[in-house]
Structure 1
């Protein structure tokens, strides 16, 4: 239901290069889609921890941090926001991946903290089964 409401919000707002580049604009979407911030995939003998959803809404964020299995928080580095272009949130992925590879079966739990460009933070915790893609 939350994803449906977020999509309705997106449809109601006219798209232009100035939309979805500030905390005020991306916060409602990220709050509504909190369950989709990360994903996990078992592929070719590895766990791949994906941050694609957060990367797509990175304009309006100043930092993304994550910890696996209760470990220390690490910073997930994202592309810059292309504010001078028609699609500022475009993911060009020049020479980088939107996932972190780990040993197969290693990821049991992930903690994520995002910091918006206005300094506010939001956190979420995910169990493996909740974010594991088929």
Structure 2
């Protein structure tokens, strides 16, 4: 009797182990596989954040700097050359400055400095557009001139309010002085001087 019961249990266990996900012999899925197939796939949770946009757009394109065109530089215009008798045009002052080139500048040692004077050029400035001075081979730079005093009998006079017609440099430092003039008729002239004030070119 006991042996018969063991046989029944053994047969039941063998029958249970023959079930697979595909069924024992019928090709049907097992209850576990059927449950897995029937289980719905959960939808992705909404986070409230926008989906990433991988398509290129104008917003992500690199900005191109606008092209800025430089403003044209104003062209100088020659002033009318009419003799006024007051030496206010190139027509009147150019012959004088050409004849006195040796006096355009003066170098003076004073109180531990080299003082470069342009007094002579200031006196005839009313026929000039520009004075440029270069020291020791450096590029000549503009030296401002006072306005002409057209309400005075002598417009080129140097008044106390016009400032000082010189610049100071280290004592003994000035070896070469270059002068470039531009007249109001747009012609130019130039000269170079050594430390003694003598023309070298």
Q: Which TM-score bucket, shorter chain as reference?
A: 0.7 to 0.9
Of structures 1 and 2, the one scoring higher in RCO (CA 8 A, sep 6+) is 1
Q: Confirm or deny: 8 A CA contact 1:41 1:47 kept in the other structure.
A: yes
Q: Confirm or deny: 8 A CA contact 1:111 1:123 kept in the other structure.
A: yes
Q: Confirm or deny: 8 A CA contact 1:18 1:83 kept in the other structure.
A: no
TM-score if structure 1 supplies the norm length?
A: 0.81
Larger CA deviation: 88-97 vs 41-50: 88-97
Output the CA distance in 2 between the equivalents of 1:127 and 1:75: 20
CA RMSD of aligned residues (A): 1.3
| Other structure's SS at 2:102 match | helix
Corresponding residue for residue 120 of structure 1: 187
| Other structure's SS at 1:27 match | helix
Q: Confirm or deny: 8 A CA contact 1:79 1:93 kept in the other structure.
A: no
- The correspondence of residues 23-42 of structure 1 with structure 2, limited to 5 A, is 23-42=90-109
Q: Confirm or deny: 8 A CA contact 2:181 2:188 kept in the other structure.
A: yes
Shift of 1:32: 0.2
Output the CA distance in 2 between the equivalents of 1:108 and 1:101: 13
Of 45, 50, 59, which residue of structure 1 is paired with 2:126? 59
Of 90, 114, 117, which residue of structure 1 is paired with 2:157? 90
Question: Cα distance 1:18–1:82, how it changes in 2: closer, same or farther (>3 A)?
Answer: farther
Of 16, 22, 29, which residue of structure 1 is paired with 2:89? 22
Q: Confirm or deny: 8 A CA contact 1:47 1:103 kept in the other structure.
A: yes
Q: Deviations over 1:105-131 (max 9, x none)?
A: 111000000000000000000011235
User: Gaps (5+ residues) in structure 1?
Assistant: 1-16
Shift of 1:95: 6.2
User: Gaps (5+ residues) in structure 2?
Assistant: 1-83
**2:137 counterpart of 1:70:** yes
Of 143, 146, 170, which residue of structure 2 is paired with 1:103? 170
Shift of 1:90: 1.0
Larger CA deviation: 27-36 vs 85-94: 85-94
Larger proportion of strand:
1
